[in-house]
Structure 1
Amino acid sequence: MTHQANSKFTSSDDFVLDTESEAFTRDPYPTYAWLRENAPVYYWPQKDTVVLSRFDDLRSFFVGDHLSTNIHDWEHHPGMGIYEQPGFEGFAKIHRNSFFNIPQADHARIRKLTSVALTPRAVRRMKQHIVDIVDRNLDELIASGDEVVNLRPFADAIPLAVICDLIGVPEELRKDFRVAGQAVLRSIQPTNSPEELAATAVNLNGAVALVEKMLTDRRADPNPPDDLLTDFIQANEDGDRLSDDELVMIIFGLITAGSDTTVHAICYATRSLLLHPEALAELQADRSLLRSAAEETLRWDSFGKVGLFHYAREDMEMGGVPVRKGQAVAVAMGAAFRDDKAYERADEFDIHRDYSGSLVFGLGRHFCLGANLARAELMQAIETLLLDRFPAAKLAGDVEFDVSNPVMRPMTNLPIRLGPDHGKKTEASA
């Protein structure tokens, strides 16, 4: 599937970036192509935001210091007083200690303390656990016996189940944690009104209190279980340990990722592979391609719209476009990953690409802390679903999207005709 620039945009004056339209949500790539070619640094007047669409700008963001992820650096942020409102206690605790908002020195210290628990080796030890969760949720998906199923519930269940199991969240509370994770994700968007922020805050207080109780109970346990929560609590570097507020932030960061981003990655990866049966057949014949295939699904079709917002640290100019200190800047990763200057034949889906220098999960201090776990979950979902149990699966109709989401393109219905079940074959390996 190759996308060309949208011919209806005949000039910069004629172009309107409408990320909330159904057409953009279904297929943003003609718009992205137009932006890269005609306005790689685009001033978006409706949002008072500068949008970057080329890969070189994405790379410069990851390695530079000219943009901040801290929403408090946004010129239109309502200020710290919003956290002092009644009912915002949990919201305030998460955001004051968020990876996006803390000073760089604290960010580096926390990453160093927590990264040991999420190394590739540590994640490999979780392999059988992830296998079991994927199989269990696939069994639940097909229990109805329907010929065509919506894959979204299967994708929904996996990442959150993995995280909640690893940190010991009781089964009856996991739905509340998912709501809280989605609320955290919504709360960092600069498009929120005060009323919308208040609505998200309601979903956070009880969940924060629960995590704090879990931490208290775990610290008091003389024989704590060997799990991720214990690893984080016991993390030690030259006598330095994580505070409870920092632990709350880390746990909610993982829950947020498990509530949203990895869910979308599983949906998009499945759809992309089913849209390319020749590539899927290659993968089924050679599982050594699984890692590169998963990376290609993340690159080729992104579930973001214009990416997360960042904020200029000072007055500057980008590609001839003036940017004010505090102004919002969005890096459209979906556009950057289709840049031919970064990827040969970028519009083509190619599971043989070399991903040794991939920026899909960021770079340096912007590298996603949970990248190894997210990759493991994505690869296991692909392996179990399309290689082991349902290798004859096909798309069974048009995908339905949540058009109303301001920053993402979530699938609400991904109809799949699974075909015969070949049984459970995946086995964990060291």
Structure 2
Amino acid sequence: MTGTDPTPDTPTLFDRALLADPHAGYARLREACPVARTTTPDGAPVWVVTRYEDVRAALTDRRLSLNKQTSTSTGKHGASMPPSLDAHLLNMDPPDHTRLRRLVAPAFTARSVGRLRPAIQQRTDELLDRFQDGSADVMTALATPLALAVICDVLGIAEEDRRDFRTWTDTLRSPAADAAPTSRRALHDLHGFLVELIAGKRDHPGDDLLTQMITAREDGDQLSEPELVALSFLLLFAGYDNSANLVGNTVLALLTHHETLRSLRSGALGVGRVVDEVMRWNSPSMLASRRFAREDTHIGGVRITAGERIWMSLASANRDPQQFSNPDQFDVDRPEGGHLGFGHGIHYCLGSALARMETEIATEALVRRFPSLRLAHPEETFEWCDSFQNRGPLKLPVIW
């Protein structure tokens, strides 16, 4: 598409049809209107970028900001996070982002998160021990409780505090339209909990990533109290939802691609290659964090005005036929790399090593523990989470 004027609004883009079959919807958009102007589910105007080349370039374009202060648009409902939980990496540009990422990054290296492997394996085995009677729901019995357990282990949350913690997180993940008052209370309680948790870690350091973030220093600099609270909150939600959905998406991909599953079980295929292709083919992150144009700019030949909101569709970019051959096919042997499932550039997912390791452990343990594992209802259409941002099955019933 060429020209200098914005495309007409597409108010029905984020509708039930796109939610039910996002890959088909984005395929149509890539072809007909690769940079489209529409509205978010809460009514805010937004540009949606769908082609791989444009998305990858936009993810590193310094003319696009993550800072909300550069925005000229708001949603109809005016929903926003309290400032005390909002000052994190996904709302920051350099140099603030550079400073925080430099302080936090050592806690998320492959070597650092590798120390969690025995604990994640133990958590997985304990959950699988509860699988009985030849049937289970992978999401409720494995993916979700494992993701919560791992994130609580990462933050060093004591077992006796995890019931309240899960109640708050489940409340905040609710898509219900009338959930705002309950969500505000949950945010207040969770904020207080995180403040107390960090204070406790200062007095009694533990062997966890939160303690590493508290003690991280470079050239005399360290994270402030508000930064630690906001980063802990980000880690919670980025790690919880995405990790659970990645486990679910990976198991579902294997159970619907039997030759790949056989190769994994025989040892001819490493589980890491499976997870990598799932991140391209059915990533739990459908959209990159929203950006705002710092100045009037062009993406894909379309003019975008300073302050306007932009969403880059990772799901669409990862199935762009201009970048990937047979993009709708799940193929662990595909020759092309470069998927954007974990993002690209300075905002590449900080927790990618942890998410990969957690998914690899859970998936491999599940398929090896139950050699006859299969879908309980292979002929039925799956119901997906009610979100344009995240992708994962609500339920994944299996039998063996």
Shared fold (TM-score greater than 0.5)?
yes
Q: Which residue of 2 aligns with 1:393?
A: 373
Q: Determine if the alignment matches structure 1 residue 206 to structure 2 residue 189.
A: yes
Counterpart contact for 2:20–2:384, Cα < 8 Å: no
Counterpart contact for 2:19–2:386, Cα < 8 Å: no
Counterpart contact for 1:148–1:416, Cα < 8 Å: yes
CA distance in 1, matches of 2:270, 2:32: 36
Q: Which residue of 2 aligns with 1:256?
A: 237
Q: Which residue of 2 aligns with 1:412?
A: 394
Q: Determine if the alignment matches structure 1 residue 70 to structure 2 residue 51.
A: no
Q: Which residue of 2 aligns with 1:351?
A: 332
CA distance in 1, matches of 2:289, 2:180: 17
The 1:232/1:385 distance shift into structure 2, 3 A limit, reads same
CA distance in 1, matches of 2:109, 2:59: 21
Q: List aligned pairs for 1:330-345, cutoff 5 A.
A: 330-345=311-326
Counterpart AA for 1:58: V
Q: Which residue of 1 aligns with 2:114?
A: 124
Q: List aligned pairs for 1:132-281, cutoff 5 A.
A: 132-140=122-130, 142-143=131-132, 145=133, 147-153=134-140, 154-178=142-166, 180-181=168-169, 199-221=182-204, 224-281=205-262
Counterpart contact for 2:89–2:101, Cα < 8 Å: no
Counterpart AA for 1:317: H
**Secondary structure of the structure 2 residue equivalent to 1:255:** helix
Q: Which residue of 2 aligns with 1:19?
A: 14
Counterpart contact for 1:43–1:321, Cα < 8 Å: no
**Secondary structure of the structure 2 residue equivalent to 1:173:** helix
Choose the corresponding residue for 2:23, options 15, 25, 29.
29
CA distance in 1, matches of 2:375, 2:288: 27
Q: What is the CA deviation profile of residues 377-430 of structure 1, one whole-angstrom value per residue up to 9, with x for unaligned ones? A: 1111111111x212321112235425643533442211211x2xxxxxxxxxxx
CA distance in 1, matches of 2:210, 2:98: 20
Q: What is the CA deviation profile of residues 346-379 of structure 1, one whole-angstrom value per residue up to 9, with x for unaligned ones? A: 1211112467644321223111111110111111
Q: Which residue of 1 aligns with 2:362?
A: 381
CA distance in 1, matches of 2:167, 2:54: 34
Counterpart AA for 2:135: V
Q: Which residue of 2 aligns with 1:107?
A: 97
Report the CA distance between 1:303 and its aligned residue. 3.7
Counterpart contact for 2:385–2:393, Cα < 8 Å: no
Q: Which residue of 1 aligns with 2:85?
A: 94
Report the CA distance between 1:173 and its aligned residue. 2.9
**Secondary structure of the structure 2 residue equivalent to 1:100:** helix
**Secondary structure of the structure 1 residue equivalent to 2:394:** strand
Counterpart contact for 1:20–1:405, Cα < 8 Å: no
CA distance in 2, matches of 1:82, 1:376: 34
The 1:56/1:24 distance shift into structure 2, 3 A limit, reads same
CA distance in 2, matches of 1:410, 1:293: 16
Q: Which residue of 2 aligns with 1:423?
A: none
Q: What is the CA deviation profile of residues 278-303 of structure 1, one whole-angstrom value per residue up to 9, with x for unaligned ones? A: 11111222265221110101111234
Q: What is the CA deviation profile of residues 137-178 of structure 1, one whole-angstrom value per residue up to 9, with x for unaligned ones? A: 2223x14x2x33221112111122012123221224324434
Q: Which runs of 5 or more structure 2 residues have no equivalent in the other structure? A: 1-6
Counterpart contact for 2:385–2:394, Cα < 8 Å: no
Q: TM-score, normalised by structure 1?
A: 0.81
CA distance in 1, matches of 2:90, 2:217: 23
Report the CA distance between 1:26 and its aligned residue. 3.3
Q: What is the CA deviation profile of residues 85-132 of structure 1, one whole-angstrom value per residue up to 9, with x for unaligned ones? A: xxx8xx32111x221223421211111111111111112221111101
CA distance in 2, matches of 1:180, 1:109: 30
CA distance in 2, matches of 1:254, 1:139: 28
Report the CA distance between 1:38 and its aligned residue. 1.8
Q: Which residue of 2 aligns with 1:40?
A: 34
Counterpart AA for 1:243: S
CA distance in 1, matches of 2:197, 2:53: 44
CA distance in 2, matches of 1:306, 1:235: 31
CA distance in 2, matches of 1:71, 1:399: 38
CA distance in 2, matches of 1:255, 1:354: 34
Counterpart contact for 2:293–2:304, Cα < 8 Å: yes
Q: Which runs of 5 or more structure 1 residues have no equivalent in the other structure? A: 1-11, 420-430
CA RMSD, Structure 1 to Structure 2 (Å): 3.0
CA distance in 1, matches of 2:147, 2:311: 26
The 1:315/1:176 distance shift into structure 2, 3 A limit, reads farther
The 1:310/1:162 distance shift into structure 2, 3 A limit, reads same
Counterpart AA for 1:50: W
